[in-house]
Amino acid sequence: MTYPKDTIELVHGDGTPTHAIIWLHGLGASANDFPPIVPELGLLKSRTIRFIFPQAPDRPITINGGMRMPGWYDIKGVSIEDKQDAVGMKESQSMLDDMLEQQINAGIPSENIILAGFSQGGAVTYFTGVRSQHKLAGLLTLSTYLPFDGDTQAEQHEANQHTPIFASHGTHDPVVPLAMGKRSVDVLSELGYNIKWKTYPMEHQVIMPQIEDIGHWINEVFSER
């Protein structure tokens, strides 16, 4: 399969993968951020899971003085929601859609695929997941928000109206305010999405209790697939 440059792939379990998780990192980070937590998730051996960690392209980020860094879209104002980058978001949506199609073409049904992401990566996960025509196993969003939330109702696809979503956030997050993450959850809940929300005493990061909860959730979601 042809992935974006510097994408990392690893497999949990033995044999041919039957399930997949595509996991996007945050702004200024790299594809190397989340592979180390895979062994800590406590995943069951009954499912062989392909993990794909793509690398965001370098792009100028307005809020950082135009400095180029890995990013899924531009941040144009002090408020994350200020002048949202529709072009960049749709480019990343297209990339994620392509990666999803690759897994389907490789023999993994969309119903066995989780889209996941942290911060900016989580925003792309939300944006893509609610619009995808493919029924997914779940959406995993960490320390993030629902971009263009006012457009969600008009642009959502019914395929994932009942897809499980696990959203988590730090209570002391200085980057993406907790209230912003909670508002996104409330918007999706009001639209009828099956969303689980959990907070942790942390900043803009991940911690072991959260990682363990993510693993339990993945096991639960994939046990039905």
What distance in Å separates the CA atoms of residue 39 and residue 59, rounded to the nearest whole number? 31
3-state secondary structure of 67: strand
pLDDT at 2: 72
Residues shown for the chain: 225
Share of the chain above pLDDT 90, in %: 88
157 in active site: no
Point out the catalytic residue in the list 74, 85, 149, 173: 173
189 in active site: no
For 110-120, what is each residue's pLDDT tens digit?
999 999 999 99
For 86-111, what is each residue's pLDDT tens digit?
999 999 999 999 999 999 999 999 99
Share of the chain above pLDDT 70, in %: 97
State yes or no: pLDDT of 11 exceeds 70.
yes
State yes or no: pLDDT of 182 exceeds 70.
yes
- Work out the pLDDT band at 47, boundaries 50, 70, 90: very high
pLDDT at 1: 65
pLDDT at 3: 79
pLDDT at 80: 67
pLDDT at 225: 72
Point out the catalytic residue in the list 92, 119, 132, 168: 119
pLDDT at 64: 87
What CATH number should be reported for the domain whose range is 8-223?
A: 3.40.50.1820
State both tokens at 129: 């997941």
**Of 44-48, 62-66, 180-184, minimum mean pLDDT range:** 62-66
Name the pairing type of β-strands 8-12 and 49-53.
antiparallel
State yes or no: pLDDT of 184 exceeds 90.
yes
Quick one: how many helices (H) and strands (E) in the chain? 5, 9
Q: How far is CA 195 from the centre of its chain?
A: 14
Instruction: Please compute the mean of the pLDDT values over residues 148-166 and round it to a whole number.
Output: 94
pLDDT at 146: 96
Cβ-contact 156, 193 below 8 angstroms: no
Instruction: Please compute the mean of the pLDDT values over residues 175-196 and round it to a whole number.
Output: 96
What's the predicted TM-score (pTM) here?
A: 0.96
What distance in Å separates the CA atoms of residue 139 and residue 218, rounded to the nearest whole number? 10
Cβ-contact 117, 23 below 8 angstroms: yes
Instruction: Please compute the mean of the pLDDT values over residues 180-199 and round it to a whole number.
Output: 96
Cβ-contact 56, 26 below 8 angstroms: no
Cβ-contact 99, 146 below 8 angstroms: no
Alpha helices, DSSP H, located in 66-190: 86-105, 120-131, 152-155, 178-190
The domains of the chain are located at 8-223
172 in active site: no
pLDDT at 78: 65
Instruction: Please compute the mean of the pLDDT values over residues 63-81 and round it to a whole number.
Output: 85
